[in-house]
Structure 1
Amino acid sequence: MPDDTAEDSPRRSRTSGIDRTLQILDILTERHQPMTAYDLARATGAPPSTVYKLLDELIERNMLSRSADGRAWLGPRLMRYGLAYRARMSAFNEAERAMFSLNERVREMVQICVRDEGMMQVVAMAEGSGTFRVTSDVGTRVPLNWTASGRLLIGHLPDAARVAIFRDCARPSNTGLADTDPEKLAEVSRRDFLDGLSVQIDTSEDQVACIAAPVRGQDGACELTLSVVMPKHRVDAKFDTVAQEVRDAARSVERALGVHQR
């Protein structure tokens, strides 16, 4: 019989190298700071020699950069890829216009959020007026169960799929107030998606409210959300206005995409 070991080995090695590279990029993205090769080796569980070699290759290709103290960070080539990808996302382009318009009307922070596997990620943001600030910024990723947007982003999925996702990804939040029950989360996720609005207060950050609406694609799936983030103490006075405005903004994006209105 022919020996396939030698033939298969390069493929396994190449795949392993790709996986290690993605691990490094994911870890740097999640931690939002440059890291040493040693720390990356510990975080990935890879041999230090493998990580050192990968870093050198990625830095040489501008996928990563090296700071003055020798730490690795994301490189300019990744920005080019990200901008090219975002430019082709018609839903994002329309949502970005709606985000700035909504920001002017409600005078509160507005974010565009998408799903990244079991996480919700902020991909664009318009600051509100005044001094109110939150820890989440563009690039921030948190578990789906922490935010109103996170629940909406899987609200279109079948019941079993939503339960399975929350079972895998639901985590206690820093405030201790985020629900982690998969069955309950799945039920609320579907209800909020059908209602076109989701609200969470204090679950991700203390004294912070999130009022979000889903933006659906042609297939009915939630492609992204528009979310108004505001201080908890302003919710009572502004809730009705903000809820209507964020719903209207999401529908304006859907109209621009030619989606049948709900």
Structure 2
Amino acid sequence: MAVTESSRARGVDRVIAIFRQLHIAQRPMTMRELIEATGAPRSSIYELAAILTEVGWLETAADGSVFFGREMHYYGSDYATHNDLISRAHQAILALVRKYEETTQLCMLEGNKYTVVLSESSARPFNISSDIGVRVPIPWTATGRLLLGHLSADEIRALIPADDFVLDNGVQIDFAEFFRDVQHAKEQGYCCTEGLSNAFRLCMAAPICDRAGFPIAALCFMTSRDTSPERRTGMLEDLLQSAKALSHR
């Protein structure tokens, strides 16, 4: 029985690994790519892909590559519909995009990383966005600074891997400076960063708080650093008002 249970557990782990790799890739993957990415046996990947395709969790293209199937969309839609915060945040994001025509997002921490949960882009030719669900180092973001205000310096050091303080352009973020940013964001009730993970990007983040007053998520604008001071002020005021409306009173 133990062997059977262990085998089933490995099967579940491999299904999770397949889904994670497809999400990371953000595109269909061949069997060979999945085998290499997951490290699972060839026979196991082929068997699982066939089963998951049969139930609609995966779809297989003519060239044999696989990606998420229609059933996965239904499950995601169910979750978004029945999660009160996500459902309400989506409406708030749509309203902000209609008013400012700027990319607007709902962002959260996932373990020791940052993720975009919802994102809506404007119809403007130039917009800045991040992929939904992709795990990004916390120090690279305004949201990361905003959502760590309840932690001490030692707790933050223990949470964030040292390598995550190195931006993708090779620049090292000083921990003391990062911690000062975290404290400043807590004091002022929002966080703005410029040219951090992208030289041309301005990010504004406003906290969504739980009943105890702790920030659990953030509404964010992703826009250009060329945005005028007057427009920045209006965007930030509306962002803060929308985030406050989404918070538990």
TM-score, normalising length: structure 1: 0.84
What is the aligned partner in structure 1 of residue 145 from structure 2?
Answer: 151
2: distance between equivalents of 1:85 and 1:161?
Answer: 31
Does residue 233 of the first structure (1) align with residue 226 of the second (2)? Answer: yes
2: distance between equivalents of 1:134 and 1:194?
Answer: 27
What is the aligned partner in structure 2 of residue 106 from structure 1?
Answer: 100
Q: 2:199 aligns with which of 206, 209, 213?
A: 206
1: distance between equivalents of 2:100 and 2:47?
Answer: 50
Does residue 124 of the first structure (1) align with residue 124 of the second (2)? Answer: no
Change (3 A) 1:134 1:26: same
Task: Give how far 1:235 is off.
Answer: 5.1
Matches within 5 A, 1:36-115: 36-115=30-109
1: distance between equivalents of 2:147 and 2:186?
Answer: 8
Does residue 16 of the first structure (1) align with residue 10 of the second (2)? Answer: yes
SS of aligned partner of 2:244: helix
Count of residues in Structure 1 that have an aligned counterpart in Structure 2: 249
Task: Give how far 1:34 is off.
Answer: 0.8
Contact 2:119 2:129 (C-alpha < 8 Å) held by counterparts: no
Does residue 165 of the first structure (1) align with residue 159 of the second (2)? Answer: yes
Contact 1:108 1:128 (C-alpha < 8 Å) held by counterparts: yes
Contact 1:34 1:71 (C-alpha < 8 Å) held by counterparts: yes
Contact 2:190 2:206 (C-alpha < 8 Å) held by counterparts: yes
1: distance between equivalents of 2:162 and 2:172?
Answer: 15
Change (3 A) 1:231 1:34: same
Contact 1:98 1:252 (C-alpha < 8 Å) held by counterparts: no
Matches within 5 A, 1:179-218: 179=173, 181=175, 184-218=177-211
SS of aligned partner of 1:223: strand
- In structure 2, the gaps of 5 or more residues are none
Instruction: Spell out, residue by residue over 1:148-172, the C-alpha distance to the aligned partner (whole angstroms, 9 max, x if none).
Output: 1233334344554432221267253
Change (3 A) 1:169 1:194: farther
Does residue 142 of the first structure (1) align with residue 136 of the second (2)? Answer: yes
What is the aligned partner in structure 2 of residue 250 from structure 1?
Answer: 243
- In structure 1, the gaps of 5 or more residues are 1-6
Change (3 A) 1:159 1:174: closer
